[in-house]
Amino acid sequence: MALYSEKVMDHFRNPRNVGVLEDANGVGTVGNAKCGDIMKMYLKIEDDIVKDVKFETFGCGSAIASSSMATELIKGKPVEEARKLTNEAVAEALDGLPDYKMHCSVLAQEAIEAALKDYEEHGQGA
Ligand code: FES
């Protein structure tokens, strides 16, 4: 069996929602101290809906695929739903990740959490 699913390879090669969101009202940056990978998530929230989302990931292929899939899973969804997104759901949507790459999906969950926290603390009403 291939180490990475077709979906992982697809999102790695053609990541969705890459870039900077100039009018974001929630931005979160997280990193993994062990591997050194960094992920930045930008959210544009309006009326409690994630209207737009973009990311920048300096990291491994699984981190890029995880952030791409995570943005797809929360785009257009209520904030409450985005808040509940787990790394397992991201990995599942990618048809799985190798065990030792699960931490890459954790980074995606944490980046969204950090961006939502930033929105709650600074972005509301912005
Ligand atoms: Fe660290 Fe993938 S190896 S995020």
Domain boundaries, the chain: 6-123
% of the chain surpassing 70 pLDDT: 98
Give the pLDDT confidence score for residue 24 in this predicted structure: 97
Q: Quick one: which atom of ligand 1 is closest to the CA of 103?
A: 4
95, 6 in Cβ contact below 8 A?
yes
**Mean pLDDT, the chain, whole residue set:** 96
Q: Is 62 in the pocket of ligand 1 (CB under 6 A)?
A: yes
Q: Give the span between the Cα atoms of 51 and 30, in whole angstroms.
A: 22
Residue numbers annotated as active site: 35, 104
Q: Quick one: which atom of ligand 1 is closest to the CA of 36?
A: 1
CATH of domain 6-123: 3.90.1010.10
The two three-digit tokens of residue 41, written as one number? 């998530």
**pLDDT digit string, tens, across residues 39-62:** 999 999 999 999 999 999 999 999
**Which of the listed residues 60, 94, 102 should we mutate to test ligand 1's pocket, taking the one with most ligand atoms within 8 A of CB?**
60
Q: Is 60 in the pocket of ligand 1 (CB under 6 A)?
A: yes
Nearest in space to 62 (alpha carbons), one of 18, 10, 112: 10
CA 88 to chain centre: 12
CA 75 to chain centre: 10
Mean pLDDT of 79-88: 98
